[in-house]
A = this chain, B = another copy of it.
């Protein structure tokens, strides 16, 4: 990925990564991002779900959504996804830190118009959250498609920032009798809870079983 003035990691530059493999791995491990845009002069940051396909992110929402109405104009946007992997406890207050993996993207959105591309994009978003669920459900009807707007954001200007590993203390502090290390944090998927209105005899589907194996 080309490094630009916007994407260049300035604080702790050794934590910056610009290769697609690193950036896409983080993107593919998540489905919620924070998207920022300027609205009537002030910044707005909103969480939303996304799906990645090749060098594009897809997002969707209600046709009447204020955010999407603004974004489809092609205004500049900034996207961030951050995964916290651990609390880094140093011997000094100053060197406490977090282990994390973060991706930041700058770009503009375009409206996805063609019905085939729209359906494909909806499946991409669905697959990002839970692969193959799309094939198990009642697909969107005309009315539902009319109520849904889809945006595409090309991943052109992006960078990752990653910190991992143990704390890093001042040389003279290593002799202090203070515990130092990392408290790992992880996100887990728990047992599925059936809808109380579920008809009897309907088993947990493959998509849910596979997701639990994966995580």
The residue of chain B having its C-beta at the shortest distance from the C-beta of A167 within the complex is: B195
Cα of A43 to Cα of B38 in the assembled complex, Å: 6
User: Taking A65-B11, A92-B140 as contacts, is the C-beta distance between A202 and B186 under 8 angstroms?
Assistant: no
- 0/1 interface trace, chain A 69-80, chain B, CB 8 Å (1 if under): 000000011111
Interface size of A by CB at 8 A reads 91
Stoichiometry (number of copies):
2
- 0/1 interface trace, chain A 97-125, chain B, CB 8 Å (1 if under): 01010101010000000000000001000
In the assembled complex, A16 has its CB within 8 A of some CB on chain B: no
Q: Which 8 pairs show the lowest CB-CB distances between chains A and B?
A: A36-B36, A36-B45, A47-B82, A34-B34, A36-B43, A180-B195, A184-B190, A94-B144
Provide a sorted-by-A list of 12 A–B residue pairs whose CB atoms are within 8 angstroms: A34-B80, A45-B80, A45-B104, A47-B80, A93-B134, A166-B197, A179-B198, A183-B192, A184-B192, A184-B193, A185-B188, A186-B188
